[in-house]
Amino acid sequence: MVPPPPSNKPHVCLSCVLIMSSMALLDAYLVEQNQGPRKVGVCIMVMVGDVCFLIVLRYIAVWVGAEVRTAKRGYAMILWFFYVFVLEIKVYFVYQNYKAEGDRADALTCKALTVLLSVFIPGLYVTLAAIDHMEYVRPLKKREELRSRLFWVVVDLLDILDIQASLWEPQRKGLPLWVEGLTFFYCYILLLILPCVSLSEISMQGVNIVPHKMLLYPILSLVAINFITILIRGGNMVFYRDIRVSGILMGKNVLAIVLKTCSFVQYRRHLQEAPTPALAPELQRDAMPQSSRVAVPVAMPMTVSMPPPQVVIQDLTTLPEEPELEET
């Protein structure tokens, strides 16, 4: 196996601290929710799972730290997927234990679980994106645009966690089982995929990051979060009288739909109405690697066409031999 390049140790340490702290707190939830002999068995299973997780994390975190100062975010996507996959499994068991307790569940610990997830999950995403380490993004304007885009990703993550947290926080009337399961796993899938899409857009742009071309995540966010979460919250509020629905986040979704729709319309109009000279500098910058590669085969025929003067010289050198033959 090829050894990784030198890694950014502070970045590796920070990401590992965030990951292991959240895992340890969830393990404490799982252990405290079980009593008697079952508590020992759960503790052993949790410790074995954490050891296996640490073994895999040791290699992935090093590669993540090695690509911080580059345009790549491949290992960051792998680490995010691996982390959320394991974390949400633990959250599911915690949620099922709270559901089994019913009215006996402590409201304070439920709120604390929500705060824990809303701090560590967006915090890890911001750490993996590492905007401040993107030294190859030299214009300050582009870096600020990227930072604003990542801010929208963080807000979307909080929106997803708010819907998921409504399942284990105290409620007056329980939701149907199929509604709870569908809501939980829909949020689970969004937490797995959408941040990876955002990181992949940064990775695919490369060194010449053009923020206005990163449209895949805003489109997915518009459909999967802003539209569908309004339907989820509205359905829970109308049909099941759920008082935990966040009206602030519903207003955020409405404003996000309006703003993103206006942005898409303006961008499309700009592409149709913008003159060619306005796009020329960007096209030349994107085409520089291609032009340099094409220039090599074009220059080769020029060097091959140089030998004709040599043929003429050889013909001139044979001319002095003819007078010598006439004298003999």
Residue 6: per-residue pLDDT:
67
Q: What is the mean pLDDT of each run of 10 residues along the chain (328 residues)?
A: 67 91 93 85 90 91 86 90 95 90 83 94 92 72 81 94 88 76 94 92 73 80 92 87 83 90 82 58 47 44 47 45 43
Residue type at 48? V
Q: What's the number of domains the chain is made of? A: 1
62's tokens: 């090093």
105 within a domain of the structure (yes/no): yes
Does 283 fall in a domain? no
Q: Is residue 324, in this structure, part of any structural domain at all?
A: no
pLDDT on residue 25: 94
Rounded distance between C-alpha atoms, residue 110 and residue 113, angstroms? 5
Question: pLDDT at position 185, please?
Answer: 94
Q: Give the integer Cα–Cα distance in Å for 282 and 111.
A: 49
Structure tokens belonging to residue 246: 């966040």
Domain enclosing residue 85, as ranges: 9-276
Residue 292 lies in a domain: no
Question: Is-contact 2 86, C-beta < 8 A?
Answer: no
Indicate the DSSP class of residue 173: S
With 0.85 as the threshold, say if the pTM is over it.
Answer: no
Largest CA distance in the chain: 127
CA–CA gap between residue 169 and residue 160 (Å, rounded): 15
The dihedral region occupied by 102, where left means phi > 0, alpha psi between -120 and 50, and beta the remainder, is left
Q: Of the candidates 122, 1, 123, which has an alpha carbon nearest to the alpha carbon of residue 62? A: 1
In a domain, 302, yes or no: no
The single residue listed with the structure tokens 């739909």 is 257
The rounded distance, in Å, linking the Cα atoms of 19 and 225 is 25
C-alpha distances in Å from residue 37, one per residue of 26, 30, 32: 20, 14, 12
Q: Cα–chain-centroid distance for residue 200?
A: 6
Task: State the pLDDT at residue 153.
Answer: 93
Angle at 83 between CA 253 and CA 115, to 5 degrees: 50
pLDDT of residue 126: 93
Are 178 and 235 spatial neighbours (Cβ–Cβ below 8 Å)? no
307 within a domain of the structure (yes/no): no
The C-alpha R_g of the chain, in whole angstroms, comes to 30
Residue 288 domain-assigned? no
Q: What letter does residue 170 receive in the DSSP assignment?
A: -
Residue reference for tokens 């923020």: 211
Contact of 197 with 177, CB cutoff 8 Å: no
What's the residue count for the chain? 328
Domain annotation covers residue 203: yes
Handedness of CA 9, 10, 13, 14 (dihedral sign): negative
Q: How far apart are CA 161 and CA 175, in angstroms?
A: 17
User: Which residues neighbour 34 within 8 Å (Cβ) at sequence distance 6 or greater?
Assistant: 42, 97
- DSSP assignment, residue 315? H
